Chain A
Amino acid sequence: MDSKMQQHGLLGSESDSQRTLYPYVTGTSVVALKYKDGILMAADMGGSYGSTLRYKTVERMKAIGKHSLLGASGEISDFQEILRYLDELILYDNMWDDGNSLGPKEVHNYLTRVMYNRRNKFNPLWNSLVLGGVKNGQKYLGMVSMIGVNFEDNHVATGFGNHLARPILRDEWHENLSFEDGVKLLEKCMRVLLYRDRSAVNKLQIAKITEEGVTISPPYSLKTFWGFSAFHNPTVGAEGSW
C-alpha cells in the first residue's frame, strides 16, 4: 500500500525515517480554568481511531511532580512518550535532593522547548498540551501546541474546545471562582462539546490542583437534555428537511 499523495520538496517521501505524519489514536478537547484555590481541568476519556470511538477509558490528564497537572489532546502514543520524558525530568529533579522542586512554569517551559525542537526537525509530537499548577500560592495555567506555540491565560482549551468552550469561558469566567462554580462552568463546556464534537465520549474526569496537591476525579458521565419541543417534530411543516 504505497502513498499516492507523495509530497515533494521540503517534506520528502512518506517512507522517510521516523516522522510522525498523522495521528492514529487521538484524544479530543481539554478545557481548564483558574479558580480561587488553583486550577480546574476537564477532559473526556475517549481515544478515537479515525472516526471510530475506539477506546473509552483513556486517562488524558496526569499529575506531574508535586505542583503540576498535564492534560493532552492529540496522539495518545505521543502523550505517553511525553509522560516518560517528564518522569525522567522529575526524577532527576528529585535526585538533586536540594529542597527545590520543579513548578508548573518550569515544566511548561520544558514542554515548550521539547515541542518546538521536534517541530523544527519535522517530527512533531502530535499533541496540544495544557499545563496547570500552583506553587507557593502562585497559580499557573499554560498551553503548548504541537508546533511549539505557547502561552498562559486564565482559561484555556484545546481542539474543538477552542471554538466551543472558550466563548463560554470568556463570558462567564471571573476571578476567584469557587470550586463548585468552576466545576459547573467546566461541565457546561464539556456538555456543549458532548453535543457538538463528534469525537467526544460521555465519560469524563475533572482534575483539581491546589497548593495541597492534585486530585483527579473518578470517571463519570453527564446528563444530556433533549426536551426541546423543536426537537420532537423538527420537520413538521417542511417535510424532507432536517
Chain B
Amino acid sequence: MDLNMDLNAPHSMGTTIIGVTYNGGVVLGADSRTSTGMYVANRASDKITQLTDNVYVCRSGSAADSQVVSDYVRYFLHQHTIQLGQPATVKVAANLVRLLSYNNKNLQTGLIVGGWDKYEGGKIYGIPLGGTIIEQPFTIGGSGSSYLYGFFDQAWKEGMTKEEAEQLVVKAVSLAIARDGASGGVVRTVIINSEGVTRNFYPGDTLPLWHEELEPQNSLLDILNTPSPEPMTM
C-alpha cells in the first residue's frame, strides 16, 4: 500500500456509481463491493439508499460517512415532508446533502442524489468531495468512474427511453467493474419516475463479457469432457 500519497490529489473512492436522467425519470446504478483495504468486506452491498419515497442517493467513498449523511438527510426529509404536507422535492433533498457535505469537509464521501418530483420531473444532482452541488443530465462517481468518462462522452444521448437508460447504466457499471479493483459484485439499479420506484438486480452472469474475460465454467472437467472440434476440411 502506498503510504506517501499526495494529499493534494482527491482521494479515489472504492465504488462505481451512476445517475442518469431519461424522458420521464431517472435511473441510478451502482456496483456492490465494499472493501477494507484489500479485503472485500461485503460483496453484495446496496449502495443505492432511500431518502424518501421519491428520492434515492448513490453513496461512494467512506461507507461510514456516506451512511451517516444519508441517515441525517432521511431524518430531516421525514420531518420536512410532515411539515410540508407533500413529498419533498429532489432539489431540497440534494441541498440537504450538500449542507452536510460542505459544512463537514472532513467527510470522505461523494454522493449522487436522484429522484422524481411533480415540479421538475426526473433530476440528478452530483455532490462530490467538498460539497459542490451540480445538477446534471447524468453523472458518474466513485473510483470506477475514472474508466467511464470516455464511455459516457461517446454513449450518452439526450432523450433516451427508460430501457435505453437502464441498459446504458448496467453496461457502464459492468465496464467499470471489469477494470476497477475497488468495484465488483453485482449491478444494482433503481428507476424512479411518476409511477414509482423499481429496483433491479443484475448478477455477474447476466452481464456481457469484456476484453480478456472468459465464459465462466462450472469446472475444468466440463471443458475436458466436451469433444474437441472437428478438424476443418477444404
Contact = CB atoms under 8 A, between A and B. Distances in A.
Interface bin, chain A: 20 to 34
Given A15-B106, A18-B103, A52-B146, A1 B130 contact: no
Interface in A1-38: 1, 3-5, 14-15, 18-25
Nearest to A22: B8
B167 interface: no
Given A23-B130, A24-B128, A49-B10, A77 B106 contact: no
A103 interface: no
A1 B107 CA distance: 12
A81 B102 contact: yes
B223 interface: no
Contacts of A15: 106
Nearest to B104: A18
Interface residues of B, number: 25
A75 B128 CA distance: 12
A19 B105 contact: yes
Interface stretch (B48-56, B131-139, B184-192): B131-139
A55 interface: yes
Given A18-B104, A20-B105, A81-B102, A25 B11 contact: no
A235 interface: no
B132 A21 contact: no
B132 A18 contact: no
A54 B129 CA distance: 12
A76 B134 CA distance: 10
A80 interface: yes
A81 B9 CA distance: 22
B8 to A, nearest CB: 5
Contact of B7 (A5, A20, A23, A47): A5
A41 to B, nearest CB: 21
Interface string B161-201: 00000000000000000000000000000000000000000
A49 B105 CA distance: 15
B7 A80 contact: no
B156 interface: no
A3 B3 CA distance: 9
Main secondary structure of the interface of A (DSSP, over half): loop
Interface string A222-233: 000000000000
A198 B3 CA distance: 27
B149 A52 contact: yes
B130 A24 contact: yes
B104 A75 contact: no
B7 A76 contact: no
Nearest to A81: B102
Contacts of A47: 132, 134
A58 to B, nearest CB: 7
A18 B146 contact: no
A1 B63 CA distance: 13
A4 B130 contact: no
B132 A77 contact: yes
B214 to A, nearest CB: 32
A50 interface: yes
Contact of B108 (A1, A5, A22): A1
B7 A3 contact: yes
B1 to A, nearest CB: 10
A19 B162 CA distance: 42
A24 B106 contact: no
B13 to A, nearest CB: 10
A58 B134 contact: yes
A17 to B, nearest CB: 8
Contact of A4 (B3, B103, B146): B3
Contacts of B136: 55, 57
Interface string B1-33: 001110111110000000000000000000000
Nearest to A21: B105
Closest 5 CB pairs of A and B: A24-B130, A77-B132, A77-B131, A76-B132, A24-B129
